[in-house]
Amino acid sequence: MFSGFFDKEFYDNTIATWLLAGFIVVGSVVLGKAIYWLCSKVIKRITARTQSKLDDIILDMIEEPVVFALVLFGIWYALNMLNTSDDVKNWIHKSFYILIIFNVTWFLTRLINAIIQEYAVPWANKTESDLDDHLIPLLQKSTRIVLWSVAIVVGADNAGYDLKTLLAGLGIGGLAFALAAKETLANFIAGVTIIADRPFAANNWILVKGYRAKVEEVGLRSTRFRTDKGTLVTIPNADLVNTTIENYSEGPGITEETVIPLSYEMDETQLAFAFDLLREVIRANPRVANSCAISFDTMTDTALMVRFRYYVNPQEAHSAVRTEVFLAIYATFRKHHIKMARPIRRLEINGVEQEFLITHFANKIQ
C-alpha cells in the first residue's frame, strides 16, 4: 500500500524522491545548527586558551558563513536529486554559484573588519597622530566596497551577463557619476588633505570664516564646528583648504589688547609697581593664560600710554573674561592708588583756548 503511494510521481519525481530531498534539506539545517553550537560551546573554549587572538577572530567570523554554506550545499544536493529540465538545472547551478560567491565575500569582509577592529584600531588610539584614526574607517569602507564590487561583477558574469558590456556600462555610468559628484570628490580630496596636513584637530579652538569655534569632527566631506555662541556650523572641506585658519589651541590663547593711560604724576617706581600689579591680575585669573606682555606705547599731552596684552583661554567666553580682567585692573589700581590720566578737553572761549578736566571720569578712576 505505502510502496505504491511512494512510487507515485509528482512533477516528474516520485513522492519518495521529494521526501528524501526534503529530509536532506532539513538535515543540512540541523547539521548547520549543530556545528554552530559546537563552535560556540566547545571550539571557542579551546581557542580562548591560546595566547593569540587571531584564531578566536577567525572562528567567530567563519562559523556563520560555514553554517550557511552547509545549508546551501544541502539544498543544492537535494535539488540535484530531483528530475528537472536542463534549463532548471542550469538556473540552479548559476544561482548557487552566485550565493557561494556572496557567502565567501561576506566571510572575508567580516574577517577583515574584525582584524582591523582588533589590531589596527587599538594601535591607532595609542599613536599621537590622528591621521590613522581617520584613515582606518576609510580603509574599512574601501575594503567592503572593493570586495562586494568584485563579487557582484563575478556573480553577474556567471549569471550570463556580458562582462565587457557590463564594465563599459559601468565606465560610462562612472564618468557621469564623477561629473555629477565633482564637488563631493573635491571635498573628499580636501578632507584627506586636511587630515594629512593637520592645520587643526578635533577639540581645537580656531578662527575660520569669521567664526570662533571648537572643532567637533573632521570628516572626509565636511568639518563641523561648535561656535562660542553654541551653534553648530558645517563647512565643506573644499572651502576650508583655501581659507586662512587661526588655531588658538596651538598658541597661548586668544589675544586681547588694550592701552592704559597712566598719569604723569607717577615716578619710575610707581610705574614698575603698576606693571607688577597688571601681571598679578593675570596670574590670579584662571581663565587666561599665565603670561602677558606690557610695553610702553607712547606719550601724549595728557598720559603715559601703556600697551597691555594678555591671552584668553580659547574655551572661555571672550567678552566675559575681558570684563573680568578690566574690573580686576580697576579695583587693583584703586586699592593701591595707581593714578590713571584724567581726560582733558580743550575748549575755545572768547578766542582763548582753555583746558578742562573731565572730572566725571576722573572721579570714577581715582
Which CATH number is 235's domain given? 2.30.30.60
Domain assignment present for residue 168? The answer is no
* In a shared domain, residues 90 and 233: no
Residue 103: domain span: 2-160
Please tell me the distance from the alpha carbon of residue 175 to that of residue 123, in angstroms, as a whole number.
38
Q: 184-217: b or e for each residue (b if 16 or more CB lie within 10 Å)?
A: eebbbebbbebbeeebbbeebbbebeeebbbbee
Domain assignment present for residue 176? The answer is no
Domain assignment present for residue 181? The answer is no
Q: Which domain-ending residue is among 107, 140, 160?
A: 160
* In a shared domain, residues 241 and 266: no
* In a shared domain, residues 213 and 102: no
* In a shared domain, residues 281 and 294: yes
* In a shared domain, residues 230 and 132: no
More confident residue, 198 or 332: 332
* In a shared domain, residues 329 and 244: no
The structural domain count of the chain equals 3
Domain assignment present for residue 147? The answer is yes
CA-based nearest residue to 203, from 320, 314, 317? 314
* In a shared domain, residues 27 and 143: yes
User: What does the CA dihedral 139, 141, 146, 148 come to, rounded to 10 degrees?
Assistant: 150
Domain assignment present for residue 173? The answer is no
C-alpha cell read off for 61: 567570523
Which distant-in-sequence residues (6+ apart) come within 8 Å of 206 by Cβ?
200, 212, 213, 215, 225, 245, 246, 247, 248, 249
Q: Which domain-ending residue is among 101, 136, 160?
A: 160
Three-state DSSP at 303 gives coil
Domain assignment present for residue 148? The answer is yes
* In a shared domain, residues 66 and 150: yes
Q: Which among 6-20, 74-88, 289-303 has the top mean pLDDT? A: 289-303
* In a shared domain, residues 46 and 126: yes
* In a shared domain, residues 154 and 50: yes
Taking residue 249's Cβ as centre, other Cβ atoms within 10 Å add up to 16
CA 130 → CA 59, 97, 245, 293, distances in Å? 31, 43, 19, 34
pLDDT in tens, 97-150: 788 888 888 888 888 877 777 777 677 666 655 555 666 776 777 788 888 888
Q: Which domain-ending residue is among 250, 270, 291?
A: 250
> Across all residues in the chain, what is the average pLDDT?
75
Note the pLDDT of residue 337: 87
Which distant-in-sequence residues (6+ apart) come within 8 Å of 84 by Cβ?
12, 92
Please tell me the distance from the alpha carbon of residue 199 to that of residue 183, in angstroms, as a whole number.
22
Domain assignment present for residue 228? The answer is yes
* In a shared domain, residues 313 and 241: no
Domain assignment present for residue 172? The answer is no
Residue with cell 597622530: 129
Note the pLDDT of residue 133: 60
* In a shared domain, residues 102 and 19: yes
- 143 phi, psi to nearest 5 deg: -60, -45
Identify the CATH number of the domain in which residue 284 sits. 3.30.70.100
pLDDT in tens, 185-219: 777 788 878 877 778 887 888 888 888 888 888 87
pLDDT band at 7 (very low <50, low <70, confident <90, very high): low
